[in-house]
């Protein structure tokens, strides 16, 4: 069967899925958790509890701070011991709720049984409300509130729901493991989202390097027999899991500059989000757990893991539980090696979208830059059709108007250009800054309209 892929650019890094054989293990609870109010795209959530309150796991502790925002729930039972600033992954102060763990008692009305609930509720608004009230956000990287994404504005219609099971970033295996271990729940989640979107077809896209996941998803789709859901095999090619690249591969449609997937009839959700939707709707369980991978090229095979964590667990606690930071680790990253963020503060707490602790050794330390040799490889590799070296030069010249004219704002920060550059030029770092400047100008202009 033909394997689907996107039309331009892309690279083929070694996939290094060293932890693919590691079953999901549940982490024990730490003495304290620190729940960030800033763990979704949009406005920060506002605490609704006070110091001294006792809370149960799954109890709502913060409400949305705006239209694009999300509810946050306590991941544990215990006592609120502080509310205030604490450093995040990048070392910036963010508002957190600190909770001292006491037992593990869950709030009323949450079904923690493993029984699979396959019946899809008739009422679309009931499904959407459960997704919203249980704080579901996109778990593929952007953490956009899911209830907003599943509710297209008037005049826009979903023609295809794409479930992203590509997991094209090297090293990461959490999506692979849930595709193997929670397959049925993911497929029910897809059917729930189909219902909300008016019954459009659903394609579950999985890269060819995960044959076991493809087989499991196909068997589940056949068994559960919801109409209009199918599994498609995607070529192994980075960034196959990018939203625009997936839409290109599956629907052969291009999202224009500044456009949204819904403009071409697409809604893209990650497989982990589909699992969270299942739990929110069928079990009334808020999004307080997710799976992350502990991996890296300087970590022995027996120390690689996929862990079910609760939000608010400090990364340092998880790292210690897994045996500590390995000797030889030169870089610590949260996320994949291509698009992940450097961990500047290992005491930062996990958030809904945490996907890994990645330890990279000597081989991944950046080489000294040399002058550009005009080889054009960066442009060939760009899946957005941009000219990375030109953008870097325009950024150096502080020419924001030319950066916008050359679509720096369309950069998806995939890193293909930097990966391909024989001169080791820090293209992504510069283009990311350039994009930030252009987006600032665009936002200011839109605010004046
Ligand atoms: S990081 Fe941006 S400029 Fe570089 S290849 Fe990716 S989309 Fe293109
Ligand atoms: S890949 Fe590097 S060396 Fe080649 S044109 Fe781009 S910036 Fe220059």
Q: What is the pLDDT of residues 352-394, one digit of tens each?
A: 999 999 999 987 777 899 999 999 999 999 999 999 999 999 9
201-230 confidence digits (pLDDT tens): 999 999 999 999 999 999 999 999 999 999
- When mean pLDDT is compared across 41-45, 59-63, 403-407, the lowest value belongs to 41-45
DSSP string, 211-271: HHHHHHHHHHHHHH--TTEEEEEEPS-BTTTSHHHHHHHHH---PPTT--GGGGTEEEEEH
97-106 confidence digits (pLDDT tens): 999 999 999 9
| Model pLDDT, residue 446 | 85
Q: Is the dihedral of CA 306, 307, 313, 318 positive or negative?
A: negative
- Predicted TM-score (pTM) of the model is 0.96
Provide, rounded to the nearest whole percent, the portion of the chain with pLDDT above 90: 93
Token readout for 408 is 């720096």
Ligand 1, atom 3, lies closest to the CA of 388
CA–CA dist 228, 278 (Å, integer): 18
Q: Which of 393, 395, 422 to mutate to test the pocket of ligand 2 (most atoms within 8 A of CB)?
A: 422
| Model pLDDT, residue 362 | 81
Query: How sure is the predictor about 1, in pLDDT bands with cuts at 50, 70 and 90?
Result: low
| Model pLDDT, residue 41 | 86
Q: Which of 367, 382, 389 to mutate to test the pocket of ligand 2 (most atoms within 8 A of CB)?
A: 389
CA–CA dist 315, 318 (Å, integer): 5
**3-state DSSP assignment of residue 71:** coil
Alpha-helical runs (H) found in 300-412: 315-321, 377-381, 388-396, 400-405
CA–CA dist 80, 88 (Å, integer): 19
- Find tokens 């599994």 and name the residue: 231
| Model pLDDT, residue 24 | 98
Ligand 2 atom showing the smallest separation from residue 374 Cα = 5
Ligand 1, atom 4, lies closest to the CA of 417
Q: Which of 141, 392, 417, 438 to mutate to test the pocket of ligand 1 (most atoms within 8 A of CB)?
A: 417
Provide, rounded to the nearest whole percent, the portion of the chain with pLDDT above 70: 100
User: How do 160-165 and 202-207 pair as beta strands?
Assistant: parallel
Q: Mean pLDDT, the chain, as a whole number? A: 96
317-356 confidence digits (pLDDT tens): 999 999 999 988 999 999 999 999 999 999 999 999 999 9
Query: How sure is the predictor about 307, in pLDDT bands with cuts at 50, 70 and 90?
Result: very high
Structural domains present in the chain: 25-110+287-363 (2.40.50.100), 124-282 (3.40.50.11540), 377-448 (no CATH)
**Nearest alpha carbon to residue 20 among 337, 415, 291:** 291
CA–CA dist 274, 292 (Å, integer): 16
- 339 close to ligand 1 (CB < 6 Angstrom): no
CA–CA dist 73, 141 (Å, integer): 20
- 378 close to ligand 2 (CB < 6 Angstrom): yes
**Nearest alpha carbon to residue 97 among 127, 131, 66, 71:** 71
46-95 confidence digits (pLDDT tens): 999 999 999 999 999 999 999 999 999 999 999 999 999 999 999 999 99
Can you state the angle between helices 124-133 and 271-282, rounded to 10 degrees?
110
User: How do 160-165 and 78-87 pair as beta strands?
Assistant: unpaired
Question: Is the predicted pLDDT of residue 448 greater than 90, yes or no?
Answer: no
Do 274 and 205 touch, CB atoms closer than 8 A? no
| 411 Cα: distance to centroid of ligand 1 (angstroms) | 5
Query: How sure is the predictor about 187, in pLDDT bands with cuts at 50, 70 and 90?
Result: very high
With residues binned 3-state (H G I as helix, E B as strand, rest as coil), the percentages for the chain, rounded to 5, are 30, 20, 50
Question: Which ligand is nearest to the Cα of residue 387, counting in written order?
Answer: 1
């Amino acid at each position: 069967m033909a394997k689907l892929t996107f039309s331009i650019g892309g690279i083929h890094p070694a996939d290094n899925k060293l932890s693919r054989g590691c079953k999901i293990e549940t982490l024990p609870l730490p003495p304290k958790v620190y729940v960030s109010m800033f763990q979704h795209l949009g406005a920060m959530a506002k605490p609704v509890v006070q110091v001294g309150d006792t809370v149960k796991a799954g109890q709502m502790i913060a409400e949305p701070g705006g239209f694009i925002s999300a509810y946050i729930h306590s991941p544990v039972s215990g006592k609120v011991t502080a509310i205030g600033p604490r450093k995040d992954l990048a070392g910036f102060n963010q508002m957190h709720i600190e909770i001292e763990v006491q037992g593990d008692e869950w709030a009323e009305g949450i079904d923690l049984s493993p029984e699979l609930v396959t019946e899809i509720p008739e009422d679309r608004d009931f499904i959407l409300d459960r997704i919203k009230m249980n704080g579901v956000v996109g778990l593929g990287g952007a953490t956009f509130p899911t209830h907003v994404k599943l509710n297209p504005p008037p005049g826009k219609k979903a023609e295809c729901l794409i479930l992203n099971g590509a997991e094209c970033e090297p090293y990461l295996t959490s999506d692979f493991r849930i595709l193997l271990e929670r397959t049925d729940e993911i497929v029910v989640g897809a059917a729930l989202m189909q219902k909300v979107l008016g019954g459009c077809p659903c394609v579950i896209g999985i890269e060819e390097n995960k044959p076991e996941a493809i087989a499991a998803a196909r068997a589940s789709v056949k068994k559960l027999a919801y109409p209009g859901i199918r599994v498609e095999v995607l070529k192994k090619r980075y960034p196959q899991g990018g939203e625009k690249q997936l839409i290109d591969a599956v629907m052969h449609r291009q999202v224009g500059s500044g456009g949204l997937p819904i403009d071409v009839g697409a809604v893209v959700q990650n497989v982990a989000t589909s699992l969270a939707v299942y739990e929110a709707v069928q079990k009334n369980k808020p999004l307080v757990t997710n799976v992350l991978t502990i991996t890296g090229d300087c970590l022995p095979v027996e120390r690689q893991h996929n862990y079910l964590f609760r939000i608010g667990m400090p990364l340092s606690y998880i790292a210690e539980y897994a045996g500590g930071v390995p000797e030889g680790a030169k870089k610590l990253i949260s996320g994949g090696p291509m698009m992940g963020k450097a961990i500047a503060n290992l005491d930062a707490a996990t958030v809904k979208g945490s996907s890994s602790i990645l330890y990279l050794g000597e081989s991944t330390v950046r080489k000294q830059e040399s002058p550009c040799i005009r080889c054009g490889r960066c442009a060939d590799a760009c899946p957005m059709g941009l000219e990375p070296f030109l953008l870097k030069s325009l950024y150096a010249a502080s020419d924001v108007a030319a950066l916008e004219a050359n679509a720096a704002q369309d950069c998806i920060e995939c890193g293909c250009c930097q990966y391909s550059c024989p001169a080791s030029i820090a293209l992504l770092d510069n283009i990311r800054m350039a994009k930030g400047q252009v987006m600032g100008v665009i936002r200011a202009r839109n605010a004046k309209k």
